[in-house]
Amino acid sequence: MGTNSKEDKPQAQDSSVSQIMQAEAVIALKESAARKEESLEKRSFPWKNLFYTTLSLAALSVIFYGLPGLTGARFSPQPLRSGSYMTDSATDRCISNLWAVAAALRTGGAVPLLTCPASRKPYIITNGTVSCPDPHAHGVKKLYADKKNVMPSLEK
């Protein structure tokens, strides 16, 4: 029996060595799989980064090109007219008043009794034409509107 017990010990050592080797092989496989997964993630990361950068630049360009419209919406627009747009606020109010009086003349409605904001004089209405009583107060030669033209005219 003495010889059998010596033979059992090497077999036990061989089985434990083989188990350790199998465990090390499994660990090595898991580590290599983890390394492969990491390398795949590293390779796809620049594409994600490029995608997010492109998306951010597109959003910034939309905002950048939309800013003039947003800032323009904050300020009151000048009334439409033919002629110069280099006018002050009193001239803009006078043109708005000319719009209202000319619209009443075109529709045949009651003409509002408005006055020029610069001279405080009533508008002159002759033959379907409404004109500012003192265009020189606005720094222009003529400021008028009529039934035929849709927009008031300003002549410097």
Q: Which residue has the higher pLDDT, 3 or 137?
A: 137
Q: Which amino acid is at 82?
A: S
Contact predicate 123/133, CB 8 Å: yes
Question: Per-residue confidence at 82, pLDDT binned at 50, 70, 90?
Answer: low
This prediction's pTM: 0.48
Contact predicate 131/117, CB 8 Å: no
User: Vertex 38, ends 34 and 43: CA angle to 5°?
Assistant: 150
Q: Which residue has the higher pLDDT, 134 or 77?
A: 134
| % of the chain with per-residue pLDDT over 90 | 11
Residues 87-104 pLDDT 10s: 778 888 888 888 888 888
User: Average pLDDT, whole number, for the chain?
Assistant: 78
Residues 13-56 pLDDT 10s: 677 888 888 888 888 888 888 888 877 666 656 678 888 999 99
**Over 70: is that where the pLDDT of 11 sits?**
no
| % of the chain with per-residue pLDDT over 70 | 75
Task: Give CB contacts under 8 A, 24+ apart, made by 76-82.
Answer: 79/152, 80/151, 81/151, 81/152, 81/153, 81/154, 82/149, 82/151, 82/152, 82/153, 82/154
Element (H, E) at 146: strand 142-146
